[in-house]
Amino acid sequence: MNTFYVNTGSWFESLHPISKLYFVAAMAVVPFLTANLGVLGAYLAVVVLLAYSAQVGGRFVGVLLRAVAPLLLLLFAMQSLLYPGGQDILFQWGGLAVKREGVLFAAVVGMRLLVVVGAILLMLMSTHPKHLVVALEQRGMPAKAGYIILSTMQIIPQMQTLSRKILDAQKSRGVEVEGGLWTRIRAYIPVVGPLILASIAQLENKALALESRAFNAAVKKTSMIDFTMTAADRALRAGSILILVGAVAGRVVPLWL
C-alpha cells in the first residue's frame, strides 16, 4: 500500500488511532491561540520528539521540510517585504525594505504551519490507513466516508510512485530526464499522459475490488481488526486535552484580568 505509513512496531504506532486523532486535533487548534514564538517552538518540539520516539524521526523531518519549505520561503519573502504598516526596517535595497514586523509575522505563521502539518504527518506515518478508517467506522462513520479518507491518504504517495516508474521507463528508452531545470521540465511533460491513464486504470481496479467485496451491501460489516485501550492511550488523550485546555486558558484568562 502506497502511503506515508512506516511499520516500526513502536509504542506510538501501537496506540489506538482515535488517541492519535486527539493529539492531532489539539495540535491543530493550540498554535492559533498564541503568537508567542517560544510557545509555538515548544509545540513543535513535542511533535518532533514524538516522531523520534515513534522511530520515524529522520524520515519525518525530511518529509516535513520538503513539504513546507517552499511555502515558508514564499511566506517570508512576501511578508517581510509587503507587510502593511511595518515601521522597523531591518534591511533596505532600492525600493525594497525588509520589515521586522513582517519577519515576525511570517515566523509565527510558519511555526503554526509546521506544528499542524507535523502533527498530521506524524499520525500518517505511525498509523496504517486501514486501521484509522476501521477505528472511525467503529465510531459510527459511514463506510463511504471511510473510503474517501483512505483514498485521500493514498493519492499523493501513489502518484509519486507512478511518476517514478514512468520516469524510469522513459530513462530506459533513452529519454534524458536528468540535468538542468529546463531538461527536467521537458522530461516531465511526457509523464503527464501515462500518469493520468494509469490513475484512471487504478480507479477502475478499485471499483471492481469494492464491488467484489460487497461494499454497497446494506448490511452491518464486521472487521478482524480489534483495538484495545492502554495506559499510553489514556495518557496521550489526557495530555492532548490538558494542552488544549491550558492553551485556551492562556488565551482567555488575560482577557478577564
What sign for the dihedral angle of Cα 122, 123, 127, 129? negative
Instruction: Verify that 54 and 145 share a domain, yes or no.
Output: no
Instruction: Verify that 110 and 159 share a domain, yes or no.
Output: no
Instruction: Verify that 67 and 123 share a domain, yes or no.
Output: yes
**pLDDT tens string 215-238:** 666 667 667 777 888 999 999 999
* pLDDT on residue 187: 66
Instruction: Verify that 23 and 98 share a domain, yes or no.
Output: yes
Q: How far is CA 241 from CA 7, 73, 115, 235, in A?
A: 27, 33, 17, 10
* pLDDT on residue 176: 65
Predicted TM-score (pTM) of this structure: 0.76
Instruction: Verify that 102 and 133 share a domain, yes or no.
Output: no
Instruction: Verify that 149 and 235 share a domain, yes or no.
Output: no
Q: Is the pLDDT of residue 179 over 70?
A: no
* pLDDT on residue 216: 67
Instruction: Verify that 238 and 211 share a domain, yes or no.
Output: no
Instruction: Decide the pairing of beta strands 89-93 and 96-99.
Output: antiparallel
Instruction: Verify that 193 and 179 share a domain, yes or no.
Output: yes
Average pLDDT along the chain = 83
* pLDDT on residue 146: 74
* pLDDT on residue 221: 67
> pLDDT higher for 161 or 231?
231
**pLDDT tens string 12-60:** 999 999 999 999 999 999 999 999 999 999 999 999 999 999 999 999 9
Range of the domain at 233: 1-127+227-257
Instruction: Verify that 32 and 112 share a domain, yes or no.
Output: yes
**Band of residue 257 on the pLDDT scale cut at 50, 70, 90:** very low
Question: What is the domain count for the chain?
Answer: 2
Tell me the average pLDDT across 56-66: 93
Instruction: Verify that 221 and 233 share a domain, yes or no.
Output: no
Instruction: Verify that 158 and 111 share a domain, yes or no.
Output: no
* pLDDT on residue 177: 62
Residue whose entry in the numeric block shows the C-alpha cell 485521500: 152
Tell me the average pLDDT across 233-254: 90
Phi, psi of 14, deg, nearest 5:
-80, -5
Instruction: Verify that 101 and 203 share a domain, yes or no.
Output: no
Residue 36 · residue 149 · CB < 8 Å: no
